């Protein structure tokens, strides 16, 4: 274990405190307190104290009373009472009410204390894991709720659009109008297709293990240019990529490509409609084991008030373009897995710059 | 009678369909205004001077980014009654959230809730329910 377990011992007799500390200081990080006021001070400053020992007989407040009091304020540390036989009734009742984890008889022997710390620590870890799992579960539920919403909006939406279009088309005889409708139906199909592939990204990026390989960013940039050539030429967008990689870089290539694909697709999708000099720049440089990637575009931009929320699941900053609200969420999730970070800077109506920093693994 | 329609819908295809259906049902000279953002529609409604005989049907989508349909209704309800009395809202949605739809369906200015896709049949049924004569059909 890299760090010593933190324990706190409360006793009104200074000799006991000194003895306790001398006995256990090599194995554990020991905090001592002569009274409950000092004890509370320690607890406030050290949120990660795992086990608390408290003497039952103290002037002013008994150990049981103290534990009962701190149980709600500091619920995580494991509470152990140190007591003589004469206090057995109070001890049993405290155990039964859940205020203490176990008790140690006075005078204590070293082995009892060590075993209490080890058992208490196990219990503490199990409880903490449970709390973390609960939080993860809560997050999964929240995402599921959002997913249910998105099923009706992003999956049913395009489908009902197509169904509606078919209904209208049955009544139309003008070929020109029908073709107009077909273009709209095609867009709906693309949107659906887009959504399904981003859902796929979402689940594979959440569950998959990382596969670390050497990454040649020159090759990655060339591939991206090839993939997007058809979109950039038909939309008259100038796509420039510069790569400066004097050293090797290791990371998960699939995740990096997923991240770049999402950001470049966005840069294409959110260009200003009737703008002459549409441009997307991709700039990658690798120094000291860090890849810095800049993706800038001359697009519609993102209002500053939305900077924080654009990476949230199903968040949409604009109502005017197709989008599922999953792309940037996947980007952020992917970067998190790689230990990287993302920053956005944007001026409404001028363009957006995403800055990524990814450490080599 | 000053009958007109307002369409509030962020999906291009659904907007096109609703527009087409109104023309097919009410004739080519039907008055239709379209909005892809509920905020713009609300601004428009608040700023429009109304004549006594005016009557406007709003076809409203619910799931829209930024101001959604439900929030639109709340803001709309806050407008003076002299304005809101001239409008009837018909919700057109692909939402499957029954509780939410029931809640919105009971609102004073909401006449009906239609499940997408909007079809001629459904549209005509709603017009009939709110007693609008279908021109020439």
Q: How confident is the model over A94-104, as pLDDT tens digits?
A: 888 878 898 89
| pLDDT > 90 fraction of chain A, expressed in percent and rounded | 46
Q: How far is the C-alpha of B122 from the C-alpha of A180, rounded, in Å?
A: 23
B47 to chain A, minimum CA–CA distance in Å?
A: 22
Tell whether A303 is within 8 A of chain B (Cβ): no
- On whether residue A29 sits in a domain, the answer given is yes
Do A219 and A89 fall into the same domain? Answer: no
> How many interface pairs between A and B have CB atoms less than 8 angstroms apart?
76
What's residue A320's pLDDT? 54
Cβ contact B94–A167 (<8 Å): no
Query: Any residues with CB less than 8 A from the CB of A101 and at least 6 apart, and which?
Result: A78, A79, A80, A120, A123
C-beta pairs of A31-34 under 8 Å, 24+ apart in sequence? A31/A6, A31/A7, A32/A8, A33/A8, A33/A9, A34/A10
Question: Confidence class of residue A1 from pLDDT cuts 50, 70 and 90?
Answer: very low
Peptide bond into B122 cis (omega under 30): no
Kindly report which listed range (A23-32, A195-204, B50-59, B63-72) carries the lowest average pLDDT score: A195-204
Do A101 and A234 fall into the same domain? Answer: no
User: Has residue B41 got a pLDDT over 60?
Assistant: yes
CB count within 10 Å of CB B7 equals 23
Tell the residue number behind the tokens 């007591």, with chain if given: A83
- On whether residue A170 sits in a domain, the answer given is no
Burial label, B9 (beta-carbon count in 10 A; 0-12, 13-18, 19+): buried
Query: Any residues with CB less than 8 A from the CB of A61 and at least 6 apart, and which?
Result: A36, A69
From chain A, pick out residues whose CB is under 8 angstroms from the CB of B13. Answer: 158, 161-162, 164-165, 184-185, 187-188
Do A102 and A219 fall into the same domain? Answer: no
Partner residue facing B13 (CB), from A156, A172, A184: A184
A260 to chain B, minimum CA–CA distance in Å?
A: 25
Last residue of a domain, one of A80, A108, A136: A108
CATH for A56 = 3.40.50.2300
What number of CA atoms fall less than 13 Å from residue B134's CA on the CB side?
A: 16
- On whether residue A145 sits in a domain, the answer given is no
Question: Confidence class of residue B136 from pLDDT cuts 50, 70 and 90?
Answer: very low
Rg (Cα) of chain B, in Å, rounded? 14
- pLDDT tens per residue across span A287-312: 999 999 999 999 998 888 888 788 87
Do A216 and A351 fall into the same domain? Answer: yes
Q: Which of A261, A229, A225, A262 is nearest to A243 (CA)?
A: A225
**Phi first, then psi: what are they for A295, rounded to 5°?**
-125, 115
* Cβ atoms of A259 and A252 closer than 8 Å: no
Question: Confidence class of residue B137 from pLDDT cuts 50, 70 and 90?
Answer: very low
Segment B98-103 mean pLDDT: 91
From chain A, pick out residues whose CB is under 8 angstroms from the CB of B114. Answer: none
CATH for A345 = 3.30.565.10
CB count within 10 Å of CB A277 equals 9
Pick the more confident residue, A322 or A4. Answer: A4
What's residue B67's pLDDT? 86
User: Has residue A253 got a pLDDT over 70?
Assistant: yes
Pick the more confident residue, A200 or A161. Answer: A161
- pLDDT tens per residue across span B76-90: 999 999 999 999 999
Segment A211-215 mean pLDDT: 89
User: Has residue A34 got a pLDDT over 90?
Assistant: yes
User: Has residue B128 got a pLDDT over 80?
Assistant: yes
Question: Confidence class of residue A319 from pLDDT cuts 50, 70 and 90?
Answer: low
What's residue B54's pLDDT? 83
- pLDDT tens per residue across span A41-95: 999 999 889 999 999 888 888 888 999 999 999 999 999 999 877 778 888 888 8
- Domains belonging to chain B, first-starting first, are 2-129 (3.40.50.2300)
What's residue A2's pLDDT? 53
Partner residue facing B116 (CB), from A160, A316, A318: A160
B89 to chain A, minimum CA–CA distance in Å?
A: 20
CB count within 10 Å of CB A160 equals 23
The overall average pLDDT reported for chain A is: 87
What's residue A323's pLDDT? 63
Q: How far is CA A7 from CA A18, A124, A155, A168, in A?
A: 14, 12, 54, 74
- On whether residue A179 sits in a domain, the answer given is no
Tell whether A141 is within 8 A of chain B (Cβ): no
From chain A, pick out residues whose CB is under 8 angstroms from the CB of B97. Answer: 149, 152
Query: Any residues with CB less than 8 A from the CB of A149 and at least 6 apart, and which?
Result: A314, B63, B97
User: Has residue A208 got a pLDDT over 60?
Assistant: yes
- On whether residue A290 sits in a domain, the answer given is yes
Residue numbers of the domain that contains A90 = 6-108
| pLDDT > 70 fraction of chain B, expressed in percent and rounded | 96
What's residue A147's pLDDT? 74
Kindly report which listed range (A182-196, A248-262, A283-297, A318-332) carries the lowest average pLDDT score: A318-332
- On whether residue A17 sits in a domain, the answer given is yes
- Per-residue 3-state assignment (H helix, E strand, C coil) for chain A: CCCCCEEEEECCCHHHHHHHHHHHCCCCEEEEECCHHHHHHHHHHCCCCCEEEEECCCCCCCHHHHHHHHHHHCCCCEEEEEECHHHHHHHHHHHHCCCCCEEEECCCCHHHHHHHHHHHHHHHHHHHHHHHHHHHHHHHHHHHHHHHHHHHHHHHHHHHHHHHHHHHHHCCCCHHHHHHHHHHHHHHHHHHHHHHHHHHHHHHHHHCCCCEEECCHHHHHHHHHHHHHHHHHHCCCEEEEEEECCCCCEEEHHHHHHHHHHHHHHHHHCECCCCCCCEEEEEEEEECCEEEEEEEECECCCCHHHCCHHHCCCCCCCCCCCCCCCHHHHHHHHHHHHCCEEEEEEECCCEEEEEEEEECC
User: Has residue A201 got a pLDDT over 80?
Assistant: no
What's residue A176's pLDDT? 93
What's residue A310's pLDDT? 83
Q: Which of B66, B124, B85 is nearest to B114 (CA)?
A: B124
Peptide bond into B117 cis (omega under 30): yes
C-beta pairs of A201-209 under 8 Å, 24+ apart in sequence? A201/A258, A201/A262, A201/A326, A201/A330, A202/A326, A202/A329, A202/A330, A202/A333, A205/A255, A205/A258, A205/A330, A205/A333, A205/A334, A205/A337, A206/A333, A208/A254
User: Has residue A284 got a pLDDT over 80?
Assistant: yes
What's residue A316's pLDDT? 63
Query: Does the complex come out with an ipTM higher than 0.90?
Result: no
Question: pTM for this structure?
Answer: 0.58
Segment B10-16 mean pLDDT: 91
What's residue B135's pLDDT? 53
Do A229 and A103 fall into the same domain? Answer: no
Segment A319-326 mean pLDDT: 61
Overall number of domains in chain A: 2
What's residue B75's pLDDT? 94
- On whether residue A54 sits in a domain, the answer given is yes
- On whether residue A168 sits in a domain, the answer given is no
**Phi first, then psi: what are they for A277, rounded to 5°?**
-100, 60
- pLDDT tens per residue across span A127-167: 888 888 888 888 778 777 777 777 777 788 889 999 999 99
Burial label, A180 (beta-carbon count in 10 A; 0-12, 13-18, 19+): middle
Segment A116-124 mean pLDDT: 93
User: Has residue A16 got a pLDDT over 70?
Assistant: yes
Partner residue facing B21 (CB), from A168, A317, A318: A168
Do A90 and A215 fall into the same domain? Answer: no
CB count within 10 Å of CB B121 equals 9
């Amino acid at each position: 274990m890299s760090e010593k377990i933190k324990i706190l011992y409360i006793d009104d007799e200074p000799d006991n405190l000194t003895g306790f500390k001398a006995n256990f200081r090599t194995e554990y990080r020991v905090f001592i307190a002569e009274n409950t006021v000092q004890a509370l001070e320690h607890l406030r400053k050290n949120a990660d104290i795992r086990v608390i020992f408290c003497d039952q007989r103290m002037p002013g407040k008994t150990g049981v009373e103290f534990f009962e009091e701190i149980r709600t304020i500091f619920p995580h540390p494991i509470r152990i009472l140190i007591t003589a036989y004469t206090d057995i009734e109070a001890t049993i009742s405290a155990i039964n009410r859940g205020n203490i984890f176990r008790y140690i008889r006075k005078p204590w022997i070293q082995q009892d204390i060590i075993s209490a710390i080890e058992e208490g620590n196990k219990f503490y870890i199990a409880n903490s894991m449970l709390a973390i799992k609960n939080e993860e579960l809560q997050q999964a539920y929240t995402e599921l709720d959002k997913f249910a919403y998105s099923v009706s909006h992003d999956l049913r939406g395009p489908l009902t659009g197509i169904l509606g279009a078919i209904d209208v088309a049955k009544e139309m005889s003008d070929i020109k109008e029908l073709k107009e409708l077909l273009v709209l139906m095609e867009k709906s199909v693309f949107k659906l297709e887009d959504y399904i592939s981003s859902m796929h990204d979402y689940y594979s990026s959440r569950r998959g293990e990382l596969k670390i390989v050497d990454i040649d960013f020159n090759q990655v940039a060339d591939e991206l240019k090839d993939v997007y050539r058809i979109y950039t030429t038909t939309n008259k967008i100038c796509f420039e990529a510069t790569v400066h990689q004097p050293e090797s870089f290791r990371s998960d290539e699939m995740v990096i490509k997923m991240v770049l694909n999402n950001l470049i697709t966005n840069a294409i999708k959110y260009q200003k409609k009737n703008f002459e000099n549409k441009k997307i720049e991709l700039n990658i440089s690798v120094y000291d084991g860090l890849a810095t990637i800049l993706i800038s575009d001359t697009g519609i931009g993102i209002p500053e008030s939305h900077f924080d929320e654009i990476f949230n699941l199903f968040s949409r900053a604009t109502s005017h373009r197709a989008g599922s609200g999953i792309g940037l969420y996947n980007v952020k999730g992917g970067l998190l897995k790689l230990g990287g970070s993302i920053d956005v800077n944007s001026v409404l109506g001028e363009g957006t710059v995403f800055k990524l920093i990814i450490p080599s693994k | 009678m000053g009958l007109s329609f307002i369409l509030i819908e962020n999906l291009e295809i659904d907007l096109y369909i609703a527009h087409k259906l109104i023309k097919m049902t009410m004739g080519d000279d039907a008055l239709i205004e379209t909005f892809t953002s509920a905020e713009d529609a609300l601004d428009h409604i608040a700023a429009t001077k109304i004549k006594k005989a005016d009557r406007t049907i709003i076809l409203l989508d619910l799931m829209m980014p930024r101001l959604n349909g439900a929030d639109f209704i709340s803001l709309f309800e806050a407008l003076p009654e002299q304005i809101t009395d001239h409008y009837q809202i018909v919700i057109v949605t692909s939402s499957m959230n029954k509780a939410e739809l029931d809640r919105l369906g009971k609102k004073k200015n909401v006449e009906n809730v239609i499940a997408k896709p909007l079809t001629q049949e459904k549209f005509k049924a709603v017009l009939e329910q709110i007693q609008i004569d279908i021109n020439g059909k």
